[in-house]
Structure 1
Amino acid sequence: MKDPTQPEVHPIFEPNTSTWQYIIADPATKDAAIIDSVLDFNISTSTITTTSADNLIDLAKRNDYRIVYILETHAHADHLTASKYIQQTLLRGGNPKPQICIGKRIEQVQRTFATKYHINEAEYVSIFDKLLEDGEHLPLGKLEIEVLHLPGHTPDHVGYVIGSNVFTGDSLFLPDVGSARCDFPGGDATALFKSMMRLLTLPPDCRLYSGHDYPPNQDGRTEPRAFATVAEQREKNKHVHDGVTLDEFVQWRTQRDATLGEPRLLHQALQFNIRAGQLPSASEHGHRFFHVPLKVPEEAWTWGIET
């Protein structure tokens, strides 16, 4: 007999960006939430497609779920969110409007990247339906979602507790992957360590569902895995297992981050995701644009300038 205090959890792996997407549902009422959806983007052709998002919608339909929330753990730098597309598709199908939700500190992230990419306030202010506080509770049928602020990877990062499950986003990865980088604006290795410790003080059998997995890896795993328990993480997480100190982690994470290149979809993802997946405004010719920085060697700065 199923435990009525526990949700149905559907992990859906998107291999191109190594992202775990989730549908979580109350089995009694069929109310459901989608966490960290992916919109497919081909960087070589700058083309958006919706196969991954449509698969989420189809899964919800097959199970007679009513999507009431579309939840983001943070403003992702490695994939485009499908939040707006899913919301509008459900509305066109005659369904009630699901709320697109994210942590309230998204406003800090929006201001930072709107300035960098010259995005008008009208395209991102109040674009999310609900900004969430640490400790806030959202009803999900007869169940409840608790919001955890988990900064470090990004300042806006939150996790979602549903029953004995936590959807941690990029605040903690599988034990053989470890932890996420902290070198984006507003990132902080000390804050990430404290966020991970908050997760690792939960009951030992609590399942921590990750935002990503990256098989194959050095331990030989060839299939993606969605979760590990708190007990497993405390014993085996290669960056924050029991006994690792704050100073040790911060020193290692800072040194490691200094060697990393930027994510492949960094600029496209950030511009898209601070808009909650709303398309950029069309130009007078009907085109939509991302700003992508041009890196020019210093010795060539006079190209095109007459002397």
Structure 2
Amino acid sequence: MINNELVSRDIRIKIRAFADHLVPSDIHDAWEAQFEWPEDFEANSYQSRDQFDGWSNSVDWTIREQALRGLYVFQDLVEAVRIKELDEAQFKALLQGLERAAARSNVALGQDFLFELPASVELDPTSFRGIKDPDAIHRYLDRLRRSLRDDDSELVIGAAKELMESTAWVAIDALQSKGLISQHELGKTPNFPKLLGTVHGALGLAPGEVNVDGIGGEHTKKAREGVRKILSGAMQVANGMAEYRNNAGTGHGGISASNLGNRHARLAINAAVLWGDLILATLQDPHAPWRKGENA
């Protein structure tokens, strides 16, 4: 199982060591400034560690917004310990342990004890609800994040294309299980454009199959045309990634060094996220038009 937590358990344990030097009300106030109190959590007013764990365990550390708010809490807790009457050597030892945990977790401990999360790439987490086994997508997302952190533009472009290909195969697997794609239709060794076309067709995302039932009246025709152009563009973006990767990304050797920069990497990331979100959101949408043929 892929661990997608943005703030490691190692860091959280080291912060808990700081919390041991605070009273429960200090910990309560720091968490409550960023989060609502968990309804099912009963704070033990005599145990600072239990107070910390109750809050920390209520955070979904895989969601960037929650992780960032949790890091604000950590900043406040470390600062609260610093201004306590704590032996300087003891505080330094706690801080060194925290710095080691941060280094192992590939995050930076910046000024004023605020952690700086590395650059990240996210797909809408709600889009994974209808997927039986999203680990393959998470694996390629993690690879893409690592290559972005390493400032390796060629590897980012290659990983972005792999993320799209993995997303396509996950969608195909789900659609095959519902009898909406046959192996004959897919072929034995489908190339990337074939995968894309098959997924778009099965999900009703081909430009000629646009559905805008939610918009009525005179606007329907114009809305349909607008959506058709967007879907056609999304398809072109996805197909363009294959060419982009073949000529600029990893996977093929060359005789000259690349001069690609961060903007080229961001272009690939944005293309992969745009297409991946479109496919996964449509796949899990219970009202998507493709579901009319489900289990037919």
**What range is the shorter-chain TM-score in?**
under 0.3
TM (norm. structure 2) is 0.22
User: Larger % of strand: which?
Assistant: 1
Q: TM-score, normalised by structure 1?
A: 0.22
**Greater Rg, structure 1 or structure 2?**
2
